[in-house]
Amino acid sequence: MGKILITGAAGFIGSQLAYRLKKDGEDIVLVDDFSYGREDNLIFDDADFREEIYRKDIRDIEFMNKLFKDNNFDVVYHFAGITPLPDCQNKPIEAVDVNVKGTVIILDLVRKYGVPEMIFASTAAVYENTEVFPSTEDVVNPPSLIYPSTKYAAEQFCRAYHEAYKIPIVCLRFTNVYGPHIDCLRTQPPVMGYIIRELFEGRRPTLHSTGEQRRDFVYVDDLIDLAILVRKNKDFDIVNVSTEKTYSINEIAALIAKEMNLETLEPQYRETAHFWANYPELYDEPYPIESKLLEHEVLKYTCLSNKHAYENYGWIPQTNIEDGIKKTVDFTLKKLKSRW
């Protein structure tokens, strides 16, 4: 059995993938530069990857070249990336450098060293300007924000490498992922991490607009099931990763508050124009960010079709939202309490 490389292995999803593959008896090699990754993501009840992870930037070509040369990788899971939307918007050159150039670096090493399979973490955010629901893999209109633009471009490079060299590649478009290890501490955490943190700290969570906007979610273990199943791909594929079930942000907030017994801390609401208030530079004159774009981002409905994943890989997500939220809350509270 060959080795498996995971980039972004100190992140929310990459670390869980590492744990799962290790438990399955796979030989894993981990890389992360800790720009967003966290030490505590690498500690599990019965595993600890802190000593074995390479603390390196995927753009360190000399290091990465040696890593590929020294290891006969069977699969590369390229999950490293700059994920928070406002960070990408605020630092577009860095976002393109990591998310696009970084992906091309990995693709070229996969080509050079003949790795039999690459799996790339793309995103549902590429459907930003798509109005077909549930969105199927073939209905993407070019996005407007920097983060989805970088992933859209990176997908295109995956396609180009497949077409030129016939490398088997799968781009997984994750919708909103949740589960243990979800980030709750960064400036703009994912919505569930944010709500849990605010309630834990005794604050009413601030939601934008009415909170009635609906999103689809997927539990991290279900995503990992699919990330393993797609290894049978021998071609090029783009696969949505979604439950196809939507919940309003109000419903999500209520489920979390119920789980934490903090229903009295009801959400408060703020205009969409303040969505990225933690990033005041984005509102600078002479070209402040378009309020219509922010409004669209806040109000947009997301629901990805999972038909392709079912029909081609037999994947059916197993976790219902109540169980998934319970596990997410339990884990996140443990983490937050250990900080105080």
Choose between 122 and 272: whose C-beta lies nearer to ligand NAD. Answer: 122
Choose between 227 and 265: whose C-beta lies nearer to ligand NAD. Answer: 227
Q: Which string of x and - marks every residue 66-95 that binds ligand NAD (by CB under 6 A)?
A: -------------xxxxx------------
Contact status: 57 vs ligand NAD (CB under 6 A): yes
Choose between 20 and 204: whose C-beta lies nearer to ligand NAD. Answer: 20
DSSP secondary structure string for all residues of 150-184: HHHHHHHHHHHHHHHH---EEEEEE-EEESTT---
Choose between 176 and 272: whose C-beta lies nearer to ligand NAD. Answer: 176
Token pair recorded at residue 287: 């070209």
Site for ligand NAD in 5-24 (CB under 6 A): 7-8, 10-14
Choose between 132 and 185: whose C-beta lies nearer to ligand NAD. Answer: 185
Contact status: 59 vs ligand NAD (CB under 6 A): yes
Span near ligand NAD by CB under 6 A; candidates 20-28, 169-177, 263-271, 328-336: 169-177
Contact status: 36 vs ligand NAD (CB under 6 A): yes
List 5, 29, 37, 247, residue binding ligand NAD (CB under 6 A): 37
On whether the CB atoms of residues 16 and 40 are closer than 8 A, the answer is no
Site for ligand NAD in 233-252 (CB under 6 A): none
List 190, 267, 317, 324, residue binding ligand NAD (CB under 6 A): 190
Choose between 86 and 265: whose C-beta lies nearer to ligand NAD. Answer: 86
CA atoms within 13 A on the CB side of 34: 10
Span near ligand NAD by CB under 6 A; candidates 35-43, 231-239, 262-270, 278-286: 35-43
List 4, 6, 177, 191, residue binding ligand NAD (CB under 6 A): 177
Choose between 115 and 265: whose C-beta lies nearer to ligand NAD. Answer: 115
Which residue matches tokens 């800790």?
Answer: 34
On whether the CB atoms of residues 106 and 75 are closer than 8 A, the answer is no
Closest CA to 84 of 146, 144, 141, 126: 146
Token pair recorded at residue 21: 């593959």
Choose between 105 and 167: whose C-beta lies nearer to ligand NAD. Answer: 105
Closest CA to 290 of 301, 278, 282: 282
CB of 305 to ligand NAD, least distance (A): 16
Site for ligand NAD in 92-151 (CB under 6 A): 98, 102, 121, 123
List 174, 275, 279, 315, residue binding ligand NAD (CB under 6 A): 174
Token pair recorded at residue 336: 């937050």
Phi-psi region of 337 (alpha: psi -120 to 50; beta: other; left: phi over 0): alpha
On whether the CB atoms of residues 118 and 169 are closer than 8 A, the answer is yes
Render the burial of 26-54: b for 16+ CB within 10 Å, e for the rest: bebbbbbbeebbbeebbebeeeebeeebb
Span near ligand NAD by CB under 6 A; candidates 3-11, 130-138, 163-171, 200-208: 3-11
CA separation, residue 309 to residues 51, 170, 224, 226, 230 (Å): 35, 11, 13, 8, 9
CA atoms within 13 A on the CB side of 46: 3
Contacts with ligand NAD, residue ranges (CB under 6 A): 7-8, 10-14, 31-37, 57-59, 79-83, 98, 102, 121, 123, 174, 176-177, 183, 190
